[in-house]
A and B are shown apart, each in its own frame.
Chain A
Amino acid sequence: MRRPHRRIETQLTVVGTGIAGFAAALFARARGLDVAQVGHSGALAYTTGYLDLLGVADGRKIADPWAGLDALRMTEPGHPFGRLANADIRAALDAFIGEVNAMGLGYTPAGAANLTALLPYGVTKPTLSLPETMWPGAAALAERAPALIVDFAGLQGFSAAEFAANMAAVWPGLATARLAFPGMESLQVFPEPMARALETRETRAAFVARLRPHLGAVTHVGLPAILGVHRPDTVRAALEAELGVTLFEIPTIPPGVPGIRLRELFERHLPGRGVALEPNLKAAEARLDPSGITLALHGPMEDLDIRAEAVVLATGRFLSGGLRAERSGIRETLFGLPVAQPDGREAWFRPAYFDPRGHPVNRLGLTVDDRFRPLDAAGAPVHPRLHAAGAVLAGQDWARSRSGAGLAIASAWAAVNAAGAELGSSPGDPGPTTAPGAAPAQEPGTA
């Protein structure tokens, strides 16, 4: 039997459904471009939820990421941030955070300085924007507020005792408690089902009853990130009203709820904004020709061809499949784009894991021009309208420098603006656009 074959034509196709890919799709729609996006589950579900811009430079935490970016442009001229001005990076972050807030997920605005965000092991990291559900934790730490940290029987990798022990030097006197999560007693429990359960009134009531006896005189209660998937701000407000304390979330080891929230938020809202989204399909092959780019996708039921005038490649690194390492070398998987690399894999990783310089392999990727177009070996763009954004870019080590989301969002902004200019669109209203007739996304009720 012949498999059904479908063909889509778009101005711009985004390949990848990480932060860079979703940001690119949103930015492109805001410019009025006709957009398709394809991807499959990837690294997004792993994020802490924090939007980092630049938290670490030269192996030290930094307070002012904007000054840090200015310094980075001097010390690392090849860094992708070197192709962007601070004003553009700020515009990109403001636009992204504005979109996320408009879709109903609260994030703090990008400010002038880094915030000190909490991590599950009782250490902190500098970041620029936090989910509203996590922000009170940073504030509580700043005032050393009397707080209770709660963990759950059967929830691995989050220990209130560990958090408090490691925090003790900077935030002494944290109380701890271990609760059995209502309805999930004595089993191994995972954050996502807990978060979904807290969206129901019954579970919240049972949870409040179990937590209340531990409150003592604390003003704040810190929990692993489990306060609902779709309306965390509402779940938090409802619990705070019952408990009379301020609640904050702390990220957990992945896959964690904050990343799932972002992914589900985008998957729910982007189609309504006119993005032809295929969130569970990988681009299997790609063909470049002077007038555009053709992508071939093989779904479970049908084959799909996407014909695009321009492409933003945001396929991430090894974990997400954008790059692949063989014993003999590293390659880009979809277009076979050149990846400049040292001779032999002995040079990929340094002998000491925590070498403060980071591992050379993390800086390999796609070299681009000022319009974020991947370059061939001779230094010319591989295709006039093939752009790249996010972690797949060369010359950066986002994990060590704590710049993952910021780099993804800012490079997506630059790539889309370059593609938009080539396609003749103007940078229209950057605010949220709702396609006419798009049904408001159906959300599981926050009863």
Chain B
Amino acid sequence: MSDHETDVLIIGAGATGAGVMRDLALRGIASLLIDRRDLNAGASGGNHGLLHSGGRYAATDTATAAECRIEGEILKRVAPQCIDDCGGLFVAVEGDDPDFAARFPAACAAAGIACEALTPDEARAREPALPQTLIAAYAVPDATIDPFRLVLENVAHAEALGLGRYLPHTAVEGFETDAGRIVAAQARDLRTGAPFRIAVREVVNAGGTWAGRIAALAGCDEVRLLGSKGTLIIANTRIAKGVINRLRPPGDGDILVPGGTVSILGTSSVTLRDPDDAAARAPTAAEVDRILDEGSAMLPVLAETRFVRAFSGVRPLLLSDAAEEDGRKASRGFTLYDHEGQGLANFCTIVGGKLTTFRLMAEKTADLVAARLGVVAPCRTATEPLPSGPGLGWTAPGASARDWMARADATDTILCECEMVARSAVDEIVARAPGHEDHMSLDAIARRSRIGKGACQGAFCSMRVTSHLYDAGVYEGAEGLGEMRRFIDGRYRGVRPVLWGAGLAQTELAEILHVGLAGLDLLNDDAPEDPR
């Protein structure tokens, strides 16, 4: 890997980093975005996908609630293709505190959130899955957002403006400083292991939960974060028309978010000391049971629903005394550190906040960076529509199926039967999606599509996609089987906690195929695994 030079280095390709990249490009500033894994590898890929109306925070944090409302309204205007404006309900059932419920409309009003009281019958007419035990219901303008498409489009737009470049599997490992400025970042391509240098004028740390560690690499110790693991479970059916929130102080299993053809139920909240502790990060059967038991009180149908996966994300929360005990009580606001107090004039860290507020976080960060670079152009992301393009539209559940049926091209075979992802979609991603590269990994293709996200969780489609990639010349030698093994193992981590019933039987078949037909359990014996 040869050395790079950029005006602005952005570390972390979650929603925040991608948002900063596009915001800068719209002001005419070029940047290089890197992530040690890939787009949405952090909290931006492990969240609920709820575009908050603010209702969730209305009772506890009026400022955050109002911020969510305003940002939600902006995103619905500029990025409608990423959003399902499905609306949401807040509901209380027997056993929930009726006084808490009664205070909800006033709290919403204080944050400017539209809130309509419904009778239990009206609520059940909107959402037939709601139970007879309903005692209160309010409608709010909640919506859902596809964070994968959002991030892909932000990155692609910056690239299309000729003012952005994105490098996956590239980690920052250190900084070279001189006279109160960072002059270069020491980076490493984790796929090849090669170290290289990135000469910079400005550095933005958008490392989410890892931002404290990244700041420390530059000698800044002021970014103190709490990792709060949240676990969610996904059903491959749409259980509700809109978002359903439990109207009580935030707890486990109290939000159901539909997205396209799926539903996501969550979350739990567990404090994590080390966000890289894979064992502690993994969702557990106990968490799944808790979420499901709580969720079924609000939506009894959940007890009979097939869940295809559990996953967890780590919330980057600003450390405060209250937060130490309970991640949910920590502030949902964000903080921009300019690090000038720590003796660095061209480094900043943006952390905290929500997916819903990523645009505002990017705006504040880009304001600072532009000012430091002497650029006066104003922020345009609140008004400039987010354009789409090739290789970007494959992440929404149901999108590939609609596209395939509309084209009715009999020669374009389906590679992923659960989610109807066609060969042409995979070809397009491999050829031009942001971050595409030679020998692209199955994980990278999956992040840019619905491959591996349906009922089989990649167990079957990975085999078909791999065969196709050999045919297409993307894979050579034994690398494809190594890719398949890594991908299947990765997806399995999320399948494991929801294995019972039909899902367990399907996993039994999958293992028989992976082992008996592809010999993946013995791969390491036959050929040493690809070091990448």
Minimal Cβ-Cβ distance residue in B for A189: B413
The size of the chain B interface, using a CB distance under 8 A, is 56
Residues of A within 8 A of B523 (CB): 123
Docked pose: A356 CA to B524 CA in angstroms:
11
| A351:B279 contact, CB within 8 angstroms | yes
Say if the beta carbon of B199 comes within 8 Å of chain A. Answer: no
Residues of B within 8 A of A291 (CB): none
Say if the beta carbon of A325 comes within 8 Å of chain B. Answer: yes
Using a CB-CB cutoff of 8 Å, which residues 498-532 of chain B contact chain A? Answer: 499-501, 504-506, 508-509, 511-523, 525-527
Say if the beta carbon of A108 comes within 8 Å of chain B. Answer: no
The minimal Cβ–Cβ distance linking B477 to chain A, given in whole angstroms, is: 6
Docked pose: A220 CA to B395 CA in angstroms:
44
Give the segment of B315-323, B356-364, B465-473 that binds chain A. Answer: B465-473
Residues of A within 8 A of B522 (CB): 56, 59-61, 123
| A352:B517 contact, CB within 8 angstroms | no
Which one of A125, A162, A349, A356 lies within 8 Å of B466 (CB-CB)? Answer: A162
Docked pose: A157 CA to B464 CA in angstroms:
5
Docked pose: A119 CA to B523 CA in angstroms:
13
| A349:B496 contact, CB within 8 angstroms | yes
| A344:B285 contact, CB within 8 angstroms | yes
| A120:B481 contact, CB within 8 angstroms | no
In the complex, the number of residue pairs spanning A and B with C-beta atoms less than 8 Å apart equals 141
Which one of B464, B485, B513, B520 lies within 8 Å of A254 (CB-CB)? Answer: B513
| A166:B480 contact, CB within 8 angstroms | yes
The size of the chain A interface, using a CB distance under 8 A, is 55
The minimal Cβ–Cβ distance linking B438 to chain A, given in whole angstroms, is: 16
| A46:B509 contact, CB within 8 angstroms | yes
The minimal Cβ–Cβ distance linking B475 to chain A, given in whole angstroms, is: 7
Docked pose: A326 CA to B289 CA in angstroms:
12
| B521:A354 contact, CB within 8 angstroms | yes
Residues of A within 8 A of B515 (CB): 399-400
A157 and B485 in contact, given A187-B410, A356-B521 (Cβ under 8 angstroms): no
| B286:A346 contact, CB within 8 angstroms | yes
| B411:A124 contact, CB within 8 angstroms | no
| A158:B489 contact, CB within 8 angstroms | no
Chain A window 26-51, contacts with chain B (Cβ cutoff 8 Å), 1 for yes, 0 for no: 00000000000000000100101000
Say if the beta carbon of B261 comes within 8 Å of chain A. Answer: no
A/B interface sample: 16 pairs, CB < 8 A: A46-B512, A56-B522, A156-B413, A157-B464, A158-B467, A161-B470, A165-B477, A166-B477, A166-B478, A188-B414, A319-B505, A325-B499, A325-B500, A346-B285, A353-B514, A402-B516
**B-side interface residues toward A, CB under 8 Å?**
279, 282, 284-286, 289, 292, 410-411, 413-415, 460, 463-464, 466-468, 470-471, 475-478, 480-481, 485, 488-489, 492-493, 496, 499-501, 504-506, 508-509, 511-523, 525-527
**A-side interface residues toward B, CB under 8 Å?**
43, 46, 48, 56, 59-61, 119-125, 154, 156-159, 161-162, 165-166, 168-169, 186-188, 251, 253-254, 317-319, 324-327, 344-346, 348-349, 351-354, 356, 359, 361-362, 399-400, 402, 404
The 7 A-B residue pairs with the shortest CB-CB distance, nearest first, are A162-B470, A159-B467, A353-B492, A123-B519, A318-B505, A346-B285, A325-B504
